[in-house]
Structure 1
């Protein structure tokens, strides 16, 4: 060999599928000579028609065929070494490293070949030792099957022995007939499942057989058309469907009934994969037209994958026994007037403590456009038990195609005295603006709406006949954070009542700063933008009309709390947020995005110097409720609304935050006087001695005092005989008059005079 090769950890075989063009195939393992390589085409050993390159190379080489193997041929390349010594070391001779390495390389490669062959052989598990795996003599094993006895040793069996046993310790031999009878299949009784043949008689025969034997019935893949209603008695262990039942039978009957009625208790049942489709969609007029009826179940599990085209898709029914403690996994309920009917049939029956997961209740947009439809109904037959309690729904989805139509499309309908019906994560698409309708004494229902095309105006409809209230709707769509903000920072429940006459031409509002879209001069601080009063506000009977250039907002200390929820009762308000740093200096967009809103994008308005919502806060735009998050550099903020596109009336405002925080609301401060109806000031004063009937005056500076304000004054010392009068003669000044109305001279002495004005 020209050089010493290296034997790496490479499997000594390679497999290829020929494409009809390729002639060269690589083998990645080393060989010592071309004869060491076996070449097979379609498992047949080849003796010629190819050349081998790369013998003696560590990285292997190639097999090059004279003609490309046919497309799809399996090409197998395998190293196959003779197990033999290739050298002999002489006594007292020179032991050369190259000779020794070549011998060891050859032996290592040969061991790799052996390991590759034994890898495909049947072997004992490493955890086992001993055992007899020797084949019986030729005559003893002729015409018999090789297997293993009860000790796991090799043995043989007669080829015609009609028993089977599982290949596990403790397995008992059973006849093939017994093994096949473990589960009944509808095909065992002649069902075809081609969607054309009438499989009704075969399906019913299979259901009767399952009940008679207590077996679990299996309806395999396919569509099983039936011209008759079907019933699986409660004596059957359960039902698994991998196909679908296509109901083409008479109207006004249940297509599939599971379980026994009357006083029979159907406990610990398993019904899975249920699919029942009506061949022609019902006219929705007959409530006896039902897809699936589940009777008197207890501690059972039901999976409904599809039920379509009936007046009532599926009904859970409590008769003389109840329907309780059962789990239903709901799939697609399509084109049914009532998707799921939770019902009692007798005064002794009940329907309670049931869990429901999922469910897509949907109606085609063009189907029965003049008829009401409901997703889930809680109902009772006349005179039946009406206290349906503790039903839990998780993640139901409703697309009822009623929005904008003069019909009802409502997810839940309670006609009974139901209690503790909870539904979480509801999705409402194209429904009426009600998540539920109650017509009886239902109470303690909880509906959590995760998404609704109706926005925030989703409620419970208490129809005529309803005798109880007390149910709760949690509307989380576009307002999840808003719902969690339970601490009220500030509230102005009536803008009209909160309005105050700041001056003869200016109007202010309690707790609120008046805002302007265009502040003159060179404003730069918070107090330059939060005005106590401005003109152009128009008071209405219920609130205030915001006209061009005007806004209202709460001023908050945001150094600890970063998020605030704003709720506004107004026709179409526009959100605005103005930001300031720890020194109360204005922050512009040069500092980057400073405010985010929960339901819309905020853009910086350079003229007004605030961040402004991209759309009005309306229900139609799903923007009524907004949460505002402030950037870390924002220490103070004005959060409110402004008139941007059109005049609108504002009636109430409310600001909340996470209950972990209690941020200060800033108003009525010496440096920030807005939002305060009452203003006070005091002044040290030593009035002169006053003769009987004499008076004296002093001017008390009081910023914000305006002519027409109600004014009062008092003195810190006893004033028997002296009357203090106050009036606003000039802006920001209260003139206090001390008048001696007694008949003697009085000298009060030095004290403090206090002035107070109240805005009308």
Structure 2
């Protein structure tokens, strides 16, 4: 027995698009007989030239046409059941289930068709009750327009008035043309958005109209192909894109330019959903090939949804008044050599104070595998304004596919003298080991790396042309608790208390090396340039006056740690750094710049043979805190301050470093006896037998011992009956006297005599 037909909840209509070859079209709804299938081609009912299979089947069937419909034509299949009653149930007859089911199925099928028909009619919302929607008689409604009154009931309006009004109290009627002109649409000018038609002229006409009227332009859903560059003039109120522009035009120019140049101030604009794709992947050769060029915006809100395939994805440009104080929402920025270029073109324009949210900067694994790529660049044309400052990035994501390849894939490239560039929550996947590369005088950059495929091994790459220590990396990934701390390397909290009176004319200081700006002779090694004490240091109640080309500094082991921070309490100090290699040979400027500082440029002083700050650190708010980065060629460094321009009082010095390291501070070593007020020495001694009341003496060499120092002596063996005395009779020599104060001769065994000299 055949299974009974089932009427499922399936719409009794299906539609297809012809391709010029297809002749069979399926329908998923049941029909009872072939005559109930209605076929329409482009809306016209076709009465013949096709056959129907599947009548009586719950799953539907197929319609086979003798001739395939043309490409692009619409094929509509619809069930149409005649609404009639052609059977009756007999009184007192047998009521068979199949017969009853057939009748109920037809009723349900007919109701489905009615519901489908009603779905496309003008209806009142189910939440509303009442209302008058009955049409007047034909004569009364002839040459009239339908409308609605103040309470929403149907009314007739004169056709020639051409006025409409919003259905709310107080609304003023106005023309249909004015209503349609409230927001311009690219389709108003003939743009199709089908991805194949040339929409460039229509899009440009729409953009010109938006500028002429000062209105918003809507580019609706779809793909709008253009073979010409497009420009939205600054007079337009803004641009909303729901679809995308596919640029298939010539290379070497922006695909979409928004805003005017010159003295224009494109202020208070709103651009949303911007999406520009290159029809074919660009060659990454010409920086004039830009996806979206945003010019001279101020106090604007800009959302870039998607940019793909260009040398530069997005460029924000100051080439007139400047680009400033705006917010950019960034989306998918993919397969561009430079995702976002923050640029200036003239000396009188700037690019500053911008907030950026999000941004997925990515390059595909097969795209230009031999070429460098960067997520965000700060740049300027030759002679243009270079002091870009206060750019704030929140949560950018970089997937640059450069890790393990001999190319650079770096999130930030800074080629200008920017300040206060803050990036928070950065994600790095497949990038180089640097979150940023600095090539100029950038400073005060902070890069917070929330996740990186390199873990915490993320740095800033300072090119040879960089003249500042430009910023700091806060690597939170796998290192947040540790990196939040700082490590103090050495501290002299009071120069006055640390003073060492080396002799009557020379003064030294604990932990510090004394420096001279003009060392006599032909010095070449570390020991030739650092002294335990020098003259011309004038003590004050709180510190020391640096005079006569004098300096003080910490000597640090820089083989593993290259980043240090010096804080100074002084009136107008000058930063100085001396550099030495692993064999303690002096390193000069012949190797190029060896030192970068955070608040100023470092210049080579050939007389003093050190790198020094370009100016005194007179600004206590900014330049007093100095960070220093040393070149990898530097194994040992002296970091401190010196008197260059004028005498000044120095009161305290502190040196810190990256908490990942704990470098040694070198002072008080056997081969480097500087920075200590206590000197010790020892030597073997076997004194001869000492008669009662007599004494024996031995001289112990102690480099740095001077008359007037405190001195003590001791012997390594038991010396009952003998007293050991010490004195400095000659410079660098301690004379130790063993006095036998007992009443009998005393013969001491061989031992070690030890001396201790303490400076005042």
TM-score by length of 1: 0.50
TM-score by length of 2: 0.50
